[in-house]
Copies of this chain bind each other. A is one copy, B any other.
Amino acid sequence: MNIKDRLLEKLLISKGKPVSGEKLAHELSVSRAAVWKHIQALREDGYRIESSTHLGYSLVGSPGKLTPGEIRAGLKTKIIGKDIRYFEETESTNIIAREMAGRADEGTVVIAESQTGGRGRLGRKWISPEGGIWLSIIIKPKIQPSFAPRITLLAGVSVAKTIRSFGLQAKIKWPNDVLINGKKVCGILTEVGAEIDLIDYCIVGIGIDANVDTESFPDEIRDGSTSLKKELGHEIDRIGFVHKLLLEFEEIYVEFQKEGFHSILEEWRNMSATIGEWVKITTHAATIYGEAVGVDSEGALILETGEGKLEKIVAGNCEHLRRP
């Protein structure tokens, strides 16, 4: 983190109580003049910081941006979010993450207030205005590329648990969407860099319609979309949400590495919106209709077709056709 972010983190940690310029200068190993310069820069970013000659600086108002300083203060993770790259606007956090992944530490998070070229699966456009949460997590699990679908499912569980902790009944639609009341509130795009038999890095892109007005979305997706703000009836604290999300993700990811996928799969099944549904699956090769009866240990969807045959779907597009 740069000096400005570290300064912000210190003001946030002191929770409105004044911190002296001298103490800040000492802790950040910079001059008091440099502290003052960064305080001015934070004020320009929209932070309200009071200063008193005797007491020092106190933070009394924040613009609520997802800057590294805001996120680091109060983040309880050990790996995820240790390094945070922040953009007011970028093409796509997954693209940034992919370009830096080879040299980045595990747990690095790329976050943006808005994306100009946000993407969903298979190159589909993903609308990413201000107010949403658009982030990518770089992880480096020692797994084979064929195990990558598990990472998507694991990420879905972490998002659904986070949303549930805010009092909303989130469910997971196979393989990569999180729904509230049957409407999409989050998409997950997992990308891997790999040799033939070993993953080098994995990028988990998570896009959440947090404080977003889905009314402004294009016709074809408006009715199927919702936001946390809409479901709750008020804006959510995005910083608090990211704290919770990164912690949930880390806990599940650590469990995955230590204990394997078994109990995570159980959690996934319990929050599934897809199991029990009559679905239409479109793959590269075919379109298949059937009842989603389960998900196997690799994260593949198991369908029972009209003729009573079981089909295993590793990847594909899934539409829920009715709600039992």
Contacts and interface: CB of A to CB of B under 8 A. Distances in A.
B195 A121 contact: yes
Interface string A186-209: 000111111111101000000000
A284 B198 CA distance: 9
Interface of A: 95, 98-99, 102, 121-122, 144-146, 148-149, 152, 175, 189-198, 200, 283-284, 314-316
A95 B102 contact: yes
A237 to B, nearest CB: 32
With a 10 A CB-CB cut-off, give which of A102, A145, A192, A196 has the most chain B CB atoms: A196
A283 B102 CA distance: 24
B190 A195 contact: yes
A295 to B, nearest CB: 14
B316 A122 contact: no
A102 B102 contact: no
Interface secondary structure of A, over-half rule: mixed
Contact of A193 (B98, B144, B152): B98
A194 B146 CA distance: 11
12 contacts: A99-B102, A121-B196, A122-B197, A145-B145, A146-B146, A149-B196, A190-B196, A191-B200, A196-B315, A197-B283, A197-B314, A197-B315
A121 B284 CA distance: 30
A152 B195 CA distance: 10
A122 B194 CA distance: 10
A193 B283 CA distance: 20
B196 A193 contact: no
A75 B122 CA distance: 34
A305 to B, nearest CB: 20
A-B CB proximity, top 5 nearest: A197-B315, A196-B315, A193-B193, A149-B196, A192-B194
B98 A197 contact: no
Contacts of A146: 146
Contact of A99 (B99, B121, B148, B194): B99
Contacts of A195: 121-122, 189-191
Contacts of A148: 196
Contact of A196 (B152, B196, B197, B198): B152
A298 to B, nearest CB: 11
Nearest to A100: B99
Contacts of A95: 102
A95 B148 CA distance: 22
A145 B197 CA distance: 11
B316 A197 contact: yes
Nearest to A146: B146
Given A152-B196, A190-B195, A144 B99 contact: no
Contacts of A192: 145, 192-194
A160 to B, nearest CB: 19
